Amino acid sequence: MQTIEIHTQGGLKHKVQTEVYNAEALNTKLNDNDLITVLIGDFIIQRIDVKRIIPLNTIDIEGAKRVEVHTNAGKVIEITTNDYNPIYLNEQLNNNNTITVVIGDYIFSRIDVKQVVPVPVKEEPKEPEKPPVTVPEQPTDPVTPPIIEEPPGETGEGSATVSQMEPTE
């Protein structure tokens, strides 16, 4: 059994259990101009009174795309879907013969949809890349500066020897 919640244009909410819930098949009935009402489980509703249909026990599908549907009432509903096609959905939202549209397993009245925004995929946090490990060079024998020997009596700095003399009169 699948439990769905049906929201009406008048603001009522009804929980309905159905043996099989197929959003595409139900949406086809809701858009059939030959019908006045639609049977959902044991619940009968006028097709133009459907504001949105939300499955209450959904399963997240790995690798599926997430979208946020912003409604005219200010609600934001996040949906996981495998078949999000923005071009087709936009055509359906602009089609005057369409009453409801399917997004994932959800059904919305086309006049209730204000925006459909793809949710960016959150990547798993990765460990920061570590810089490559460099092997330090092996120490070499210490370098000793060459010793320069100066000849005796020379200081090597160009200094001169100064001697002081007594003044003579």
The chain-wide mean pLDDT, for the chain, equals: 82
**CA quadruple 31, 15, 75, 66: dihedral positive or negative?**
negative
Please state the pTM of the whole predicted model.
Answer: 0.68
What's the CA gap between 156 and 148, in Å, rounded? 10
So what's the pLDDT on residue 161? Answer: 53
Whether residue 101 has pLDDT greater than 90: yes
Q: Of 43 and 127, which is predicted with more confidence?
A: 43
| Residue 139, C-beta contacts closer than 8 angstroms, at least 6 positions apart | none
Strand order in the sheet with 106-109: 13-18, 2-8, 50-55, 106-109, 100-103
pLDDT tens sequence across 51-94: 999 998 776 666 778 899 999 989 999 988 888 889 999 999 99
CB of 99 closer than 8 Å to CB of 108: no
| Residue 57, C-beta contacts closer than 8 angstroms, at least 6 positions apart | 2, 3
